[in-house]
Amino acid sequence: QVQLVESGGGLVQAGESLRLSCAASGSIDSIHGMGWYRQAPGKERELVASIKSGGNTNYADSVKGRFTISRNNAKDMVYLQMNSLKPEDTAVYYCNAWGVGVMTTFDDWGQGTQVTVSS
């Protein structure tokens, strides 16, 4: 099992920035990809951004040009730089990682971090 710990959430005003971090630890052989999802009250969890081990990234249309995902492969960490935040970005943000562990594969989630954007 892989443990994922997010940090960096908080309360900001519209137009401001936040940087989320997620650290992976545990029985990791290689991480194939990491990503950020979010879930707002009453809505389904949705992909925000993902990054594969080779550096390929994918973004939700709603965050393109505002959010940037990056990864430190040596430290098994992923980051989400969020600029020009909007009230509709308010949600719990979850870190996700998938790959190969010790004699198994994994696809695990963090506990989530709250991001609140006031208007």
Residue 60, burial from CB neighbour count under 10 angstroms (0-12, 13-18, 19+): middle
Q: pLDDT tens digit string along 19-39?
A: 999 999 998 889 999 999 999
The mean per-residue pLDDT over the stretch 88-93 comes to: 98
Q: What is the pLDDT of residues 49-60, one digit of tens each?
A: 999 988 999 999
Backbone angles phi, psi at 61, to 5 degrees: -55, -35
